Amino acid sequence: MGDPVNGGLEAVVKVRRPEGFEVDVELSVPPRRTIALLGPNGAGKSTVVGALAGLVSLDGGRISLGGRILDDAKTGVHLNAADRRVGIVFQDLLLFPHLTVVENVAFGLREQGHPKGEALQGAEEWLERVGLGGFGRRRPGELSGGEAQRVALARALAPAPELLLLDEPLSALDVGSRARIRRLLASHLSEFPGPRILITHDPAEAFQLADEIHILEAGRVTQVGSAEDVRLRPRTAYAADLAGVNLFMGTAAEGRVETADGGILTIADPRVEGPVRVSVPPESVSLHRIAPEGSARNRWATVVQGVEDDGIRARVLTGAPLPLTVHVTHAAAQELELAPGAEVWVSVKASEMRVEPS
Amino acid sequence: MSAVGSSPSEPSRPSPRPGARPPLAWAVLGAGGATLFVLPLVGLLLRTPWSRLPDLLTSAVVVDALRLSVVASLSATVLSALLGIPLAWLLARAEFPGKRLLRGIVTLPLVLPPVVGGAVLLFALGRRGWVGAPLAEATGLVLPFSLGGVVLATTFVSMPFLVITVEGALRNLDRRYEEAASTLGAGPWSVIRRVTLPMVSSSLLSGLILTWARAFGEFGATVTFAGNLQGRTQTLPLAVFVALESDRDTAVAISLLMVAIALGVLLLLKDHWWGTR
C-alpha cells in the first residue's frame, strides 16, 4: 500500500505567533526515528504540528520530506495539507462522528482513489492490526477512550503517510489506560517506516516513546538529547523540573559556585571555572533538625516552604538561600516534623552534584 | 405518586418519568396559546362540505393550483439548496468586504412584506425592469406571469430560512474536523462533500423543511411578481384568495387540502426537526 518510505524530514519552521513571540524550530528526523517535542502549554508545539501538516503557513524556513519540498518561504512553495502525505493523530482525535469506525479509517484510502469496497477492506485490516477487528460498524461515540485512540492511529496510518505526527496522543485518556495505550503506541510506532514526531507535555510519554527529545520553550528548542541526557543533564529550569532535578546557574571559581540568586555551593572539582550549570538530584540532599556533622560540605539552615506527603514518600520544598526539592521517606518527614515554616538544616554532598559548563 | 417537577440537571431521555406539574396560571396561558391554533382548525373542519369535497377537490381550478404549488414549492426548495448552501458557506467562512451588509440583505425577505419583495423583483426583473428588459431582448425570457416567475418569487422569500439555518450550523462546526480531513488527502471540494455537509446535515434538513414550508404557503410576492393566472401562476394560496370572493366551499376545500399536506409533511419530519418523539 503506497510508496516505500525512504526519506527523512528536514524542517526549519518559523512562524510569528499573534501572542508576540516567534516559533523558530529546526528539526531533522531520519526514517524510523521518533523524536519528541516536549514543552509546556503555549510553547508553540501546536504551531509546529500545524506547519508540518500544511495547516499553518510559514513566515520563514523550509520543510522537506523524503526529498519533496512541502514548504519554502523563500520561493513561496506551499503544498496543501491534502497533498503532503502527513498522517496526524490529533489531540482530541477528531474522529468523524457521522461516519462509522471503519469508514473513518477508510477515509484517506477513499481520497487516494481506492474504490469503496477496497478501501473498506483495507480499513478492516488496519482495525485488526490495532486490535479492533469487529469494531468497524460502531460509531466513534460508542468507543472507549483507548479504542478511539487506536482508531485515530489506524486512520492516520491507513493511507501510508510519509511522516507521522502524534499530537498529545494520550492526553484524552484516563490515567488507568494511559500506560497500556502507551505500550501499544510504542509497538505501532516501531512499525511505521517514516519519521515520527511526538508532541507532548508529559515527560513519561516522551521518555518512553522517543529516541530523541527536543525541549521546546517559548518557541525555541532549548535542549536536544536522549531521555538520559534530559534526565541527568537538564539545561533549563523547565527541563530540570520535568526530570525532578534541582538546577542552578552560576559562576564557578576556586571550587565554589556562586549562583544567580547569590547562594554559594561548594563543588567537588576545584578546576572548573566560569559559567556553569549545577544539577542537584533530590536524593543527594539530606535534611536535619540540628546542624549536621560529617563530610557534606554544603550545609545551611533554612525554612520549609511546602510538603507533599503521599504516605510513602514526601516531597519537600526548602527556602532561601538555595531553594531545593528534596525527597525523603514518609517516616523521615514525620520524625523531622516537616511542615511549612519548620526550621531545618540542609546538606548536599558535593560529589553527587553534577557541574557542567553552560 | 406526585410529580415535583423535573430535575434540571437530568438530561431529558425517554424514561418513564412523571410529567411536570406546572403552576395553574402557567397552564392556563399555555392552553390559551394552544387554543389560538386549534380553534380555527376545528372551525375549518366544521365548515367543510364533506359530501361535495371530492368534486370540489377535483375541479380544474384546484387541480391546476395543486400542481403549480407542488412544482413551485419543490423547485424553490431545490433552487434554494443549490444557491443557498454555497451562500451560507461563504457568509460563514469567507472574508470579504461588505459581508455584514450582504448578510443583512439576504435576511431582508424575512422581515419585508412579501408584497414589497414582489414589487422589488418586478422593478428589477419585470418586462421593463433594468435587468428584465435586456434579458427579454437577449433571450426572449420573460419571468413575470410565468411559472419561472412563481419559482423566483417563492425562492426569494423562502431561501433566507435555509441560509440562516445553515450558516449558523457552519459557524458552530469545529473546523478542525475539516483540517483532519484535509490531512487525510481530501481536497476542498471533497471536504465540503464528505465532512462539512454531513456534519451539518440535521440543520440542513431543518432549513430545507422550513424553506419548503415557507414556499408552499407563499402568496404576496408571487401575486405581485407573477400574477394570478389559473393554470400558469395561480398556486393554492392564490386560489384560496380568489375563491373566498366567489365560492366559499372551494376556498374551504383548498384550505383543508393545504392544512392536510403541510401537517402531513411536518409530522412526518418532526423527528428530524425537533428531535422529539
CB-CB under 8 Å, A155 with B182? no
Domain annotation covers residue B262: no
How do the residues of chain B divide into helix, strand and coil, expressed in percent and rounded to 5? 75, 0, 25
Selecting from A82, A90, A92 the residue whose C-beta is nearest the C-beta of B182 gives: A82
Grade residue A234 by pLDDT with cuts at 50, 70 and 90. Answer: confident
Do residue A288 and residue A328 come from a single domain?
Answer: yes
Q: Where are the beta strands (DSSP E) in A194-273?
A: 196-200, 212-217, 220-225, 246-253, 256-259, 264-266
CATH code: domain of residue B85: 1.10.3720.10
Q: Which domain holds residue A330?
A: 244-357
Q: Which residues of A touch B199 (CB under 8 A)?
A: 96-98
Same domain, A219 and A316: no
A260-280, pLDDT tens digit by residue? 777 788 887 778 788 888 878
Asked if the structure places residue A2 within a domain, the reply is: no
Residue A140 belongs to a domain with what CATH number?
A: 3.40.50.300
Shared domain for A224 and A103, answered yes or no, is yes
Q: Does B254 fall in a domain? A: no
A213 and A250, same domain (yes or no): no
ipTM summary value: 0.79
Rounded Cα distance, A205 and A199, in Å: 9
| Domain ranges, residue B221 | 70-230
Of A127, A129, A135, A107, which is closest to residue A188 (Cα–Cα)? A129
Residue A1 — pLDDT band, cuts 50, 70, 90? very low
Q: Which grid coordinates are listed for B133?
A: 428588459
A351 band by pLDDT with thresholds 50, 70 and 90 = confident
pTM of the model: 0.78
A104 within some domain: yes
Residue A3 lies in a domain: no
A218 and A111 within one domain: yes
CATH number assigned to the domain comprising residue A265? 2.40.50.100
CB-closest option in B182, B183, B195 to A96: B195
A79 touches chain B (CB under 8 A): no
| Residue A4 counted as domain residue | no
Strand-strand pairing, A212-217 and A34-38: parallel
Please indicate, yes or no, if residue A276 is contained in any of the structural domains: yes
Choice among A77-91, A275-289, B73-87 with the minimum mean pLDDT:
A275-289
Same domain, A83 and A99: yes
* Residue range A293-302: mean pLDDT, rounded: 75
Q: What would the mean pLDDT of A304-333 be, rounded to a whole number?
A: 80
Please tell me the total count of domains within chain B: 1
Dump pLDDT digits (tens) for A134-186. Answer: 899 999 999 988 899 999 999 999 999 999 999 988 877 777 777 778 888 88
* Same-domain status, A207 and A350: no
Judgement on whether residues A122 and A157 belong to the same structural domain of the protein: yes
Residue B256 lies in a domain: no
**C-beta atoms of B201 and A84 within 8 A:** no
Question: What is residue B15's predicted lDDT score, i.e. its pLDDT?
Answer: 52
User: What mean pLDDT comes out for the span B230-256?
Assistant: 93
pLDDT of amino acid A256: 81
Return phi, psi of residue A214, to 5°. -110, 120
DSSP code string of B196-263: IHHHTHHHHHHHHHHHHHHHHT--HHHHHHH---TTTT--HHHHHHHHHHH-HHHHHHHHHHHHHHHH
**Does residue B150 sit within a domain?**
yes
Identify whether residues A191 and A248 lie together within a single domain.
no
pLDDT band at B272 (very low <50, low <70, confident <90, very high): low
Query: Is residue B152, in this structure, part of any structural domain at all?
Result: yes
C-alpha cell at B12: 431529558
Quote the number of domains for chain A.
Answer: 2
What are the tens digits of pLDDT across the range A15-38? 998 888 899 999 999 999 999 999
| CA distances to A23, B100, B202, B248 from A201, in Å | 17, 41, 38, 77
For chains A and B, CB pairs below 8 A equal 61
Report yes or no on A266 lying in a domain. yes
B116 in A contact zone (CB under 8 Å): no
Question: Is B264 domain-assigned?
Answer: no
Q: Chain A contacts of B187, Cβ < 8 Å?
A: 80, 82, 111
What residues in B contact A92, CB-CB < 8 Å? Answer: 176
Q: Which of A182, A208, A239 is the endpoint of a domain?
A: A239
Task: Check whether residue A260 and residue A227 sit in a common domain.
Answer: no
Is residue A249 domain-resident?
yes
DSSP lists the bridge partners of residue B104 as none
**Which of A223, A239, A255 is at the close of a domain?**
A239
